Structure 1
Amino acid sequence: MEVIEEVVAERLIKPEPAWQVQLAGLLDLLPDSTARALKDAADATRHCRTGAHVTLAVGYGGRQEIVEALPAFREIDFLRALRNFARRAA
């Protein structure tokens, strides 16, 4: 993770940034110092005027994505069951 912090500090955070840093992923899975460095880079480049963007996708794990998707599937199943119930009741 130190490599990420070094690259962010040395290459992304500059007085006149060349691109706007956007973050994707679960920063909570990262060490606090790495998450802070990434958030600082996103904040420091928020007003970049070049129109260029770089998205850093970090903190991804296949299992975590499945766990986060489950509530949406449960909601879909609930709505489907509710529709079926309403059809039978009509």
Structure 2
Amino acid sequence: MSDHTLRYFSLRHGRRRDAADVTWSHAVNSRSRLAEALTGPTHMMEADVIIRGADPKEPIMAHPPDTDSDITLKEWLEALGGSDKGVKLDFKR
């Protein structure tokens, strides 16, 4: 993790500069998981992006073997608003 990232989280959350202190929410691929991650103490969110298997074919938040989701990539990104959370997106085939 870069020094800039560690510095950002230590300033925002009063923690020492140690990557082991950065907390993650994994598989934030639904509206409920996103709401939980945005309001919780986590620093970073990891989510998966696939192309919806049925029409309309658009980027959605899901992990294979799932082929559908209750939230699109666009909606997910818009929900972040002014959040101070870090994001890691895994683009799946």
Give the structure-2-normalised TM-score: 0.32
In terms of fraction of residues, the more helix-rich structure is 1
Higher-Rg member (1/2): 1
Return the structure number with greater strand share.
Answer: 2
Larger RCO: Structure 1 or Structure 2 (Cα < 8 Å, ≥ 6 residues apart)?
A: 1
